[in-house]
Amino acid sequence: MTPDTVTMHVWRGDATGGDFVDFDIDRRDGEVVLDVIHRIQATRANDLAVRWNCKAGKCGSCSAEINGRPRLMCMTRMSALPTDQPVTVGPIQTFPVIRDLVTDVSFNYEMAKRVPAFTPRPRPPDGVYRLHQREVERVQEFRKCIECFLCQDVCHVIRDHEENKAVFAGPRFFIRYAELEMHPLDVGDRLPLLREEMGLAYCNITKCCTEVCPEHIHITDNAIIPLKERVVSSYLDPVTRLGNRIRRGRRPVSGGPAL
Amino acid sequence: MVAAAPGHRGGADRLRGLRHLVGVHPHGYYAGHVGNDYRDYLSPLYSPCLTDHCDNGVTWQLVGWWPFSAAILMLPFPLLFRVTCYYYRKAYYRSFWLAPPACAVPDAHRRYTGEARFPLILQNVHRYAFYLAVPFPIILLWEAIRGLRFGGGWGFGLGGLILFVNAILLFAYTWGCHAGRHVCGGHLDAFSQGPVRYWVWKRMSWLNVHHMGFAWVSLIWVAWTDGYIRLVAAGVFHDPRFL
C-alpha cells in the first residue's frame, strides 16, 4: 500500500465458506466504498458479487460491514476511513451469505408478511378522513425507512443468537409496528402479537439499531420504547389494567389509556 | 460578588464537620453558621429530610425515631428511577452485562432472552419509578429557595446557585423520561384528542432527546452539590455571597 493506493480487504466466498482477499487499488478523490468495489469488479475480479441499485443512499441495497461497522457502501466516503490500514468490506453477518457481499435477507420478507395490515376505522358520515399534521408527523419518521436492514444486522438479539430469529421481528419491523400502532386512523391492536410472537421484550434497548440507521430514524426512542410502554400499559401495569377493566365497553385504544 | 462572611466555629463544630467530610455521619447536613447568618443548604442526598437529624427547622420530621442516615429513607426512590431508566439500561447492559459490549461485537452470553423473563422483566416498573421521582426536583427547588434565607433576611450565595442548578437539571432529567413521555401524551394515537397532552409530550420529547446528557450532568451535579455543601458545612471554606 502506497500513499496513492489503498488495500481493499474484501470477503469472497459463498454459503460453504470463504475468506478475505486483498486488492491494492488506486486511490481517487471523491470516491465512496461502492465506487471502489465497482472498480475491483471491473478490473480485478469480474465475478465479485455485490448488490446495489441507486448509489444515493435511498434503495438500501448495498449494505455491508465496512471495517466491522454496518454501513451502506454508497454512503461511506473513502476519505472518511483511516488511510494507513486496509479497508475491510464484508457481507452483513446476521443473514446467510449467498455469494461474496450478497446475503439472503428473506428473513425480513417473511417477517414483513406477518405484520397485520393497516386497519382504518370506519369513515365519518361525510366520507372524508381528517388528519392533523401533528398526528402524522410522528409516524412519518418511520416512513423514511429504506429497508437496508442494517438495524437487523447489528441487532445482537438475532446477530449473535440464530435461534431468536423464530421469535424476534427485529428493529426494522418494530418501527413498522409502531407506525401502524400510532397511526390515528388505525384501529388494529398488534400488542398481543408484539408481546407473544414478535419478541419485543427481547430488545434490551442498547440502541445499536439507531446508531447504524442511515436515515437517522430514532428507532429505539421513538418506536421500540413507546411500544414497550404500550405493552406495559396493556399487560404489566396493574393500575392501567384496572383502568381498562373499568372502561370496558369503550372502544379499545391500541396504545392503552393514560394512567 | 461579596466576599465570604467571616465564620466562627467551635471545636465541636469542627469535629462534626470532619465526620461530615468522611461521610460517616448518620444525619443530613447543612452549611452551618456563618457570621450572623444561618444558611440552611441541605444536601440533595438527604432531601427531603424526614428525620429529626437535620435540625433545620423543617417540620417534616415524620420518622423522628429513624436511627440511620436520613439519606437511606430517600435515596432508594431516585436510585430506582435511575437503575430502571432506559438510558442507564443501555449503558450497563453494554458495559457490565456485555449484551452486547459494543455494536456489532459478539455478546458474552450463549442464550439470550432480554427483558422477557424474570428478573429483567422487572425493569418495567420504570413508570412507577417515574411517579416516585417526580416530586424530588420540586422538593429540591423548595430547598434551594430555603437556601436563600440568611438569618432574618434573604440573600444569594454560591451554594444557593448550585442548589437551583441541581433542581433544574434533575427536573430536566426526570421529565425527559421515556416512560413519563408515554403516560403524559405518547399513549395517544390522535393528538388532536388531547392538545394539552400533546403540548406536554412535545416538550418532554425535546428533553428526551437529551436524556443521556441530562442523566450524566444531573448525576455529577448532585455529587458536586453534595460535596460543596459537605465542605461548607465542614468549614473548609465559606460560601461566597453574591447578594
Q: What is the DSSP letter of A251?
A: P
> Which residues, at least 6 apart from A145, have a Cβ–Cβ distance to it below 8 Å?
A172, A175, A176, A215, A217
Determine whether the interchain pair A229/B127 forms a contact, defined as Cβ–Cβ distance below 8 Å: yes
User: Mean pLDDT, chain B, as a whole number?
Assistant: 82
Q: For residue B115, is pLDDT > 50?
A: yes
**Among candidate residues B79, B73, B231, the one with its CA nearest the CA of residue B159:** B231
Fill in the amino acid letter for B14.
Answer: R
Q: At what angle do helices B135-146 and B158-174 cross, to 10 degrees?
A: 170
Domain for residue B69, yes or no? no
Q: What is the mean pLDDT of residues B97-123?
A: 93
Fill in the amino acid letter for A201.
Answer: A
Q: What is the pLDDT of residue B13?
A: 44
Q: Is A258 on the interface with B (CB under 8 A)?
A: yes
Domain for residue B16, yes or no? no
Share of chain A above pLDDT 70, in %: 94
Q: What is the pLDDT of residue A181?
A: 96
Taking only residues 77 to 106 of chain A, the set having a beta carbon closer than 8 angstroms to any beta carbon of chain B reads: 93
Q: What is the pLDDT of residue B8?
A: 36
Helix residue ranges, H only, B184-210: 195-209
- Give the model's confidence band at B11: pLDDT under 50 very low, under 70 low, under 90 confident, else very high: very low
Q: What is the mean pLDDT of residues B138-160?
A: 86
Q: What is the pLDDT of residue B14?
A: 47
The range of the structural domain enclosing residue B181 comes to 134-243
Domain for residue B222, yes or no? yes
Nine-digit cell string for B164: 437551583
**Among candidate residues A222, A220, A228, A218, the one with its CA nearest the CA of residue A255:** A228
Q: What is the pLDDT of residue B55?
A: 58
> How confident is the model over B37-69, as pLDDT tens digits?
335 688 888 888 787 766 555 556 677 777 887
Domain for residue B219, yes or no? yes
pTM: 0.88
Q: For residue A8, is pLDDT > 60?
A: yes
Q: What is the DSSP letter of A254?
A: T
3-state secondary structure of A63: strand
Domain for residue B223, yes or no? yes
A-chain residues within 8 Å CB-CB of B185?
258
Domain for residue B144, yes or no? yes
Let me know how long chain A is. 259
Q: What is the pLDDT of residue B238?
A: 84
> How confident is the model over A189-202, as pLDDT tens digits?
999 999 999 999 99
Q: What is the pLDDT of residue B123?
A: 95
Determine whether the interchain pair A258/B112 forms a contact, defined as Cβ–Cβ distance below 8 Å: no
Q: What is the pLDDT of residue B47?
A: 84
Provide the domain count of chain B: 1
Q: How far apart (Å, rounded) are the C-alpha atoms in residues B202 and B194?
A: 12
Its ipTM equals 0.89
Taking only residues 144 to 183 of chain B, the set having a beta carbon closer than 8 angstroms to any beta carbon of chain A reads: 178-179, 181-183
Q: What is the mean pLDDT of residues B114-118?
A: 93
User: Mean pLDDT, chain A, as a whole number?
Assistant: 92
Nine-digit cell string for A75: 454512503
Higher pLDDT: A34 or B152? It is A34
Q: What H or E segment, with its residue span, contains residue A89? A: strand A87-90
Determine whether the interchain pair B103/A212 forms a contact, defined as Cβ–Cβ distance below 8 Å: yes
> Which residues, at least 6 apart from A215, have a Cβ–Cβ distance to it below 8 Å?
A144, A145, A146
Higher pLDDT: A6 or B155? It is A6
Domain for residue B75, yes or no? no
Domain for residue B100, yes or no? no
Q: For residue A151, is pLDDT > 60?
A: yes
B-chain residues within 8 Å CB-CB of A161?
111-112
3-state secondary structure of B231: helix
Q: For residue B21, is pLDDT > 90?
A: no
Determine whether the interchain pair B192/A184 forms a contact, defined as Cβ–Cβ distance below 8 Å: yes
Distance to chain B for A138, nearest Cα, Å:
10
Q: For residue B186, is pLDDT > 70?
A: yes
Q: What is the pLDDT of residue B16?
A: 46
* A51, A259, B8, B197, B211 from B204: Cα distances, Å: 41, 17, 46, 10, 10
